[in-house]
Structure 1
Amino acid sequence: MTINFDNLLNSNAWPFIEAKRIYDHIGGKTPAKGYVLFETGYGPSGLPHIGTFAEVSRTTMVREAFKQICDIPTKLICFSDDMDGLRKVPGNIPNREMVAQYLGKPLTGIPDPFGEKESFGHYMNAKLRSFLDRFGFDYIFYSATDCYKAGTFDHMMLKTIDKYDEIMRLMLPTFREERQKTYSPFMPVCPKTGAILQVPIEKVDRERQSVSYRDESGELVEVLVTGGNCKLQWKPDFGMRWAALDVDYEMYGKDHMPNAKLYSEICRILDGKVPIQFFYELFLDADGSKISKSKGNSISVDEWMHYAPLESISLFMYQSPSRAKRLYFDVIPKCVDEYLTFNKKYHEEEDIKQKLANPAFHIHQGNVPNIETYGISFSLLLNLASVCNPDDKNVLWGFISKYAPKATPENAPYLEHMTGFAVTYYNDFVKSTKEYHKPTSEQKLLLEQIIVMLSGLNGSESGEEIQNKIYAIGTEAEYENLRDFFKELYQILLGQTQGPRLGSFFKLYGIKETIKLIESKL
C-alpha cells in the first residue's frame, strides 16, 4: 500500500490527528535531544491492570501514527512513580501486617511481601515490565527512585528552589486554608526512618542546596534536595518530569483533568516546554459506575483474553477513547465481531484514506493480517454452542466442516482460536442465563411455516437467502416491528433475547438439524 504525506495529514483517525498535533508542536523538525519522547505513567502500589494496558496501547497507536507521518526518531518511556510513599496497605497482597509497619516509606524502601525481589516497588516494577513485554510494547522503563537518586532530576530540584515562591503562589490557592499552612512542593526523606515526609518547610537555601524542617522533637533538620534526599509532591512532580525529560506527548485519564493546568504551569515555571496532552475517559461497569480494582467491578486483561483474542481488546481501546465506555463481559463478543468486520473491510477497501481510518490499521501498526473465518462470526459460534451445548470445540468443528468444507483448524487458525474462546465464553456466561420460552399457538403456526420453508430448500441457498425467507414469514404475519418476531424466535429456539442472523445460523447448524431443533419446541 502506497501512502503519501497528504493521505496521512488528511486522515481523520484519532491517532493521526494526535500525531499531527505532535508534528506541529515540534515544528516538523527533530528536537534538539534527537527524538520525540512519549511518556506513560504507572503507580506501582498495585499490579498493572486494564487501565495500564489502555494507556500504553493508545500511546503506542499515536507513536506508530507519528512514525507514518515522518522519519523523526521516537522513544516511549514508561515511568514508575516508585518513590511515592505508601499511604495504605493494598488488600490483595500477602504479609499485610509486615507491610503496614512501613507506611510512609517509598515503595522501593519496603520489603517485598511476595519474597521475590529486593523491595515491594521492585516486585511491582518487574510485574509491569513483564506485563508490557507480554504484549510486545516497545518502551524504556524509568524508575522515579533511580532518577532521583542518580541525579537525573537534580537540576530541576535546584530550579525548584530558584522558583520556589512562584510555585507556591501557583499551588497554595488550590488548597484549603489548613493545608496552605503546611504545604511545600518538597517532601524530604527522613534521614532516620527513610519515610517520605509531608511537613512544613521552614527554610529553603539555594546556596546550600537544601531545605529544613522540624522533626517530632522540634529539632531543625536540614536535607539536600539533590541525590534523592527529597522528592516533589505529586502535582509538581508531574510537571517537573515533563521539563526534566523534555517530554513531547503524554496521555492521562480524566481524573487528572482538574490538575492538567497545574502540571503545565509547573513545567513552564521550570523552563520546560509543555508537551502535547490527550485525556481519555475512564471505564464504567455494567451499571454505569466507575470501575475500581478495590470494588472488583472491572475486567483484567487476562480475563478478557481468556474469552477472546488480543485484537478485540485492542479494538475496544482504539474506539472513542474520549468517551466513557462500559467495560464488562457482555462487550467481548461484540468487539470480536467488530474486529472481524474491520479486518475484512481493510482488505477489501481500495481507498487509502479509508484504510488509514480503519481501526485494524492502528491495531496492527499498518501490517494487517488477512484473516479467514469463512464468514463465521463469534456470535454465530456462540449461538451454535447454545444449541449443541459443547464441552469441546471439536463439536463446533463438526458443524463448521459441513458448512465450510475447505475450513480446517490448520488453514483457518483464527477460526480455530475463536471456537475455543466461544466454548469457554458460552459455558461461563451464556449457559446459566438461558431461559427458553414456550411458544404460543400463534407462534407454533409460524414455526411450522419455517419448517415448511426449510424443507423446500434445495441446499444451494445462501444464509442471506434463507434470512430473507424467514423475514418474509414475519412480514406476512403482520408484526408491527419485525424485531419482536426475531426476538421471539431467539427466546424459543436459543433461550435468549438476541442472536445472530438466523439465516446464517440455520445454514451453519444445518437445515436438517434446524428442522429437528424447531420440531423439539413444538
Structure 2
Amino acid sequence: MAAVNWPREEALKILSQHPNNDRPILFETGFGPSGLPHIGTFAEVVRTLFVLQALKAEAPDREAKLFVFCDDLDGLRSLPENVPNHELLRPHLGKPLSAIPDPFGTADSFSGHMNGKLREFLDQYGFAYEYKSSTQAYRSGAFDQGLKAVMDRYDKVRELFVSTIGEDKREAWSPFFPICQSCGKVYTTRVLSVDPGNYTLDYACDKDEAAYKSCGHQGQMSVLGGNAKVGWKVDWALRWFVFGVDYEMYGKDLMESASLSGKICRALGGKPPVPYKYELFLDESGAKISKKIGNGISMGQWIKYAPLGALLHFLLGNPNKAKKMGLPILPKLVDEYLQSARTETAGELFSAPWFLSQIQHQPLQDTPELASDLTYSLLFNLSEALSIFEAPLLYDYALKYDPKVGEQSEFYLDLCQRICRLALDQKEVAQEPEPLSLDLTFLPQLQKLALHLESLGDQVTDGEELQTYLFGLAKELDLNPRDWFAFLYGALLGKAQGPKIGPFFAIMGPKRALAMVTQALERIGG
C-alpha cells in the first residue's frame, strides 16, 4: 500500500524550522468571502489539516492549531454571477463585505452568509479549526500592534511595495485603505498624508470607479481600531506578524504576492511562515474555477452527489499537479476513492485512509473499508440508462450484481441515493445531444451480440465473461477493439464513451441488455 508522502514532507520541513517546543505551531488558511465558497476554498483547509495531522504523527508532543481567516473587511468590487438580488447589492459596491446586506436574506451580512457556508461544511464533519474574522481583528484592536508597526516602518513598507508597481501609481500608493466615515466605502478613498507619531492619516473619498462612486468626503482618522485597513498584500504580512503564523499554503497565482508579503513581514520584525505553493483547480474544460462564476463543483454539489470521503481523497492527491473537477468527471473521482477504500487500510500510517480517518476523528481500522468492486460509474450509467431514480431500486440491482454490497449496506444505500440525485438532476438539465456518426462496419457484430444475449435468457451473467465475449466479437473480424467499444457507446447510449460494457450488461441483466441492443438495431436500421 502506497503512503501519501507530501503532507509528511511538509510536516518535517515545519519541524526543522521550528525545533523548539515553546509554543503551539500555528497553521493558517485564508478565505475571501466575495462569493459562495467553492472546493478550492475548502481544499486549502483540508490540505492544511493533512499536514497538521502528519506533524502530530511525527511529533506527538507538539501542540498545533489551525486558524481559518476570513477577509471580510475587503470591499466588494463587482457583482458575483452566482448570487441573487443584484439590485440590493449594487448600492453597496465598494463597501466592506461585512457591511453589505446578505443577498440570500439569511445572515447579518454578505460575508456572514459566505463564510457561514464554509463553516457549516467544516463543522458538519468535525474538522478542527479556529475561525478568525478580519473585521473583528481590526475593530477589536487585535491588529493594532501590527498597524502601529506598519506606520512605524511606513517608508520601508512603502519602498518594498512600490518597487512592484508601475511608476504612475507609486506616488499615490499607501498601505492604508481608510473606510470612509461618510459613505462607508473602502475602495473610493485615498490617503493624503500620514502622521506616524499619532498613528493618524488624512484622506479623501474621491476615487470613482465604473461600478461605484465616491462621496467627496474628506477627514482625519486613527489607523487603529478598524477605522482603516491595509491592502491585502500588507494585510497578509500583518496577520503573519501579529498571529505568528508558522505555515500557510497558497495557489501558484499568488507566488509573487507571497514573496512580497514575506519581505514586509520581516520589515515589521516578524518571521514569515513556511510556505507551500499548490497548483490551481480547473473545471472539466480546463478553466480556472472561480467563486464569482461558480464553475467547477460547489461544496453543495459534493454533499449532494458524492461521499465526503471522495472529496477528501481527491484533495489528498499531489497539490503540485493541476486537477480538473466538474460534474461530468465526478463519477471517475468517486471511483478513485472507492478503489482506495477497498485496497488500503486506515491502520497503515500515512496511507490515504489513514489521513481521511485522522481529520474526521474516526477509528483506525486494520481492514479495508469496502469489499465490493462495484463502481460509482457503473451504477450511475445504469441509473441513467434505465431511468432508475429511486435509491432502494438501484441498491437492489447492486446487491444482485455483487452480494458483497450487503456487507456495507448503509454505505451503498447512501451511495445509491447520491447517484440517483445526480442522474435525475442531470436528466432535468440535459440538452438533446448531437447525433454521433456510427461506423456501420460493426453492425453485424451488434446483431451477433443480440443473439448471444437472447440465448442467455434469465440466467445470471458474469460481467467479465461478457466483456471477454465482446472483445472476441471484435477479434473475429480483426476490428480495432477501441473502435468497436466506441461504436457500442454511440449506438447504445448515444455517448462517445461510457462504462465497461460487460459489467454494465451484467448488472442490468440479459433481458434488459437485449432490449437496449434491439432498440439500437431498430434505430440504425439493423
Same fold? TM cut 0.5? yes
In structure 2, how many angstroms separate the alpha carbons of the residues matched to 1:162 and 1:115?
42
1:237 and 2:228 equivalent? no
> Per the alignment, in what secondary structure is the counterpart of residue 249 of structure 2?
strand
Q: After TM superposition, give the deviation of residue 266 of structure 1 in Å.
A: 0.8
1:364 aligned to 2:357? yes
CA offset digits 1:101-150 (Å, max 9, x no partner): 44443333345555554444444443442232233321111111211122
Query: 1:470, 1:164 → 2: CA distance?
Result: 74
Give, in whole Å, the separation in 2 of the partners of 1:126 and 1:247. Answer: 24
Which residue, out of 419, 423, 438, partners 2:420?
A: 423
8 A contact 2:179–2:229 mirrored in 1: yes
Amino acid aligned to 1:41:
G
- Give the whole-Å Cα distance in 2 for the aligned partners of 1:100 and 1:460: 63
* Cα distance between partner residues in 1 of 2:467 and 2:16: 51
Instruction: Report sequence identity in percent.
Output: 37
In 2 relative to 1, CA 85–401 (structure 1 residues): closer, same or farther, beyond 3 Å? closer
Which of 136, 144, 147 is 1:157 aligned to? Answer: 147
Counterpart of 2:196 in structure 1: which amino acid?
D
Cα distance between partner residues in 1 of 2:67 and 2:342: 34
- Deviation of 1:67 after TM superposition, in Å, equals 1.7
Report the equivalent of 2:48: 59
CA drift of 1:407 comes to 4.3
1:123–1:402 distance in 2 versus 1, CA, 3 Å: closer
Which deviates the most, 467-476 or 434-443? 434-443
In structure 2, the residue matched to 1:299 is 297
Q: Kindly report which structure 2 residues correspond to 1:365-384, keeping only aligned pairs within 5 A, or say none.
A: 365=358, 367=362, 370-372=368-370, 374-384=372-382
Summarize the Cα distance change of 1:264–1:510 in structure 2 as closer, same or farther, 3 Å threshold: same
Residue in structure 2 matched with residue 19 of structure 1 by the alignment: 11
Please, which of 258, 266, 269 is the counterpart of residue 267 of structure 2?
269
Distance 1:333 1:434 in 2: 22
**Number of the residue aligned with 1:502:** 501
* CA–CA distance in structure 2, aligned partners of residues 449 and 220 of structure 1: 82
Residue 419 to residue 111, structure 1, CA distance change in 2 (3 Å): closer
Q: Counterpart in 2 of 1:486?
A: 485
| CA distance 1:251–1:454, shift in 2 (3 Å) | farther
**CA distance in 2: counterparts of 1:204 and 1:361, whole angstroms:** 55
Q: For the structure 1 residues 115 and 388, does the alpha-carbon distance in structure 2 shift closer, same or farther, using more than 3 Å as the test?
A: closer
The CA distance in 2 between the partners of 1:323 and 1:258, in whole Å, is 19
Aligned pair partner of 1:199 in 178, 190, 204: 190
CA contact (8 A) 1:399 1:510 kept: no
Match of 2:326 among 325, 328, 343: 328
TM-score normalized by the length of structure 1: 0.84
Amino acid at match of 1:42: F
Paired with 2:185 and 2:474, the residues of 1 have a C-alpha distance of 72
Corresponding residue for residue 477 of structure 1: 477
Residue 323 of structure 2 aligns to which amino acid in structure 1? K
In the alignment, the residues of structure 2 paired with residue 236 and residue 157 of structure 1 have an alpha-carbon distance, to the nearest angstrom, of: 10
Q: What is the alpha-carbon distance in structure 2 between the residues aligned to residue 118 and residue 393 of structure 1?
A: 38
Residues in 1 aligned to 2:245 and 2:496: alpha-carbon distance in whole angstroms: 50
Range with bigger deviation, 484-493 or 455-464: 455-464
Local SS of the residue matching 1:320: coil
Residue 94 of structure 1 and its aligned partner are, at CA, apart by 5.5
Gaps of 5+ in 2: 207-214
Report the TM-score when normalising by structure 2.
0.84
Cα displacement (A) at 1:171: 0.8
Query: Greater CA deviation, 417-426 or 89-98?
Result: 89-98
User: Residue 433 of structure 1: CA displacement?
Assistant: 4.5
Paired residue type of 2:37: P
Q: Which amino acid aligns with 2:175?
A: P
Contact 2:445 2:473 in 1 (8 A): no
Query: Quick check: 168-177 or 494-503, which moved more?
Result: 494-503
Contact kept, 8 Å, 1:284 with 1:327, in 2: the verdict is yes
- The offset of 1:254, in angstroms, is 2.4
Residue type of the alignment partner of 2:416: T
- Once the two structures are superposed, residues 257-313 of structure 1 have per-residue CA deviations (whole angstroms, 9 ceiling, x without a partner) of 221110110111111111011122222233322233444433211123322222222
Change in Cα spacing, 1:118 to 1:401, as seen in structure 2 (3 Å) is closer
Residues 17-69 of structure 1: per-residue CA shift (max 9 Å, x gap): 22222122212x32x3x211111111223232222112112212222222221
- Structure 1 window deviating more from structure 2 (252-261 vs 467-476): it is 467-476
Do the aligned partners of 2:383 and 2:389 also contact (CA within 8 Å) in 1?
no
Number of residue pairs the alignment of both structures matches: 503
- 1:473 to partner: Cα distance: 3.2
Specify the alignment match of 2:212 in structure 1: none
2:386 aligns with one of 378, 385, 388? 388
Amino acid at match of 1:22: I
Cα distance in 1 between the residues matched to 2:106 and 2:462: 59
1:373–1:415 contact (8 Å) kept in structure 2: no
Q: Which moved more, 1:397-406 or 1:251-260?
A: 397-406
> 1:408-447, aligned counterparts within 5 Å?
408=406, 411-429=408-426, 433=433, 440=440, 443-445=443-445, 447=447
Amino acid at match of 1:425: L
Q: CA, structure 1 residues 503+252, in 2 after alignment: closer, same or farther (shift >3 Å)?
A: same
Mapping of 1:16-415 within 5 angstroms? 16-27=8-19, 29-30=20-21, 32=22, 34-71=23-60, 72-90=62-80, 96-112=86-102, 114-196=104-186, 198-206=189-197, 208-213=198-203, 221-347=219-345, 352=348, 356=350, 358-365=351-358, 367=362, 370-372=368-370, 374-405=372-403, 407-408=405-406, 411-415=408-412
Once the two structures are overlaid, the 10-residue window that deviates more, 262-271 or 386-395, is: 386-395
Q: What residue is the counterpart of 1:4 in the other structure?
A: none
Write the distance in 1 (CA, Å) between the matches of 2:285 and 2:122: 30
Unaligned runs of 5+ in 1: 2-6
93-102 or 36-45, which moves further after superposition? 93-102
Structure 2: distance between partners of 1:387 and 1:89: 40
Q: Secondary structure at the match of 1:297?
A: coil
Inter-partner Cα distance in structure 1 for 2:301 and 2:492:
29
1-structure distance, mates of 2:296, 2:302: 10
